[in-house]
Amino acid sequence: MADEGVAADDAAPATEIAEQPTMFGVPCTDERGQQVLHPSRDEYLDVLGMAAADGFELCVDVCAVDGLTNRGRAVAPGIEPERFEVVVNLLDLRGRRRLRIRTQVPADDPQVPSAVGLYPGAEAPEREAADLFGISFSDHPDPSRILMPPDWDGHPLRKDYAIGAIPVQFKAVEGR
């Protein structure tokens, strides 16, 4: 039942679309109370530099995600999910702040710039991501494999990597 005294033009005002929050010029979301930035690959190194200048002096981790089977995962509005994602976790020890950086990486060109120049502790985690996911980090000081043998074919944490079996040999325990 419509209100008789309300004209059609006096209906509820249109709601304004909330502007996407940003930090360092890139989309920023909140995931369980933690700020998460979503830079493009081109913005990635600049955002890391701005974070370092803002007091985020410790790179806790650099890891990769293969979204092959989870294309509908949540990313910031306006960001197109790619197959791979590089995730960097930073800490500001003095200000007691955390910051996560999630960068989408396409499968047909899986590379991002290395963060080692800004965060020397990123050297080994970037090598792990390269070794296990096949994401290369340009300008990395030592891009050699770190976990798999140098002649290993493939990247075992990719979702399309064949699951194999390695036979385990057990030794008999003497005295039993």
Closest CA to 115 of 66, 56, 65, 46: 46
Question: What's the pLDDT tens digit per position in 88-104?
Answer: 999 999 999 999 999 99
Q: What value does the mean pLDDT take over residues 147-169? A: 87
Distance spanning both ends of the chain, measured CA to CA: 86
Per-residue pLDDT at 73: 86
Q: How far apart are CA 114 and CA 97, in angstroms?
A: 23
Q: What is the SS3 string spanning 151-169?
A: CCCCCCCCCCCCCCCCCCC
Q: How far apart are CA 82 and CA 107, in angstroms?
A: 7
Q: What value does the mean pLDDT take over residues 52-67? A: 97
State the pTM of this model.
Answer: 0.81
Give the chain's domains with CATH numbers.
Answer: 20-138 (3.30.460.80)
The model's confidence at residue 175, banded by pLDDT at 50, 70 and 90, is: low
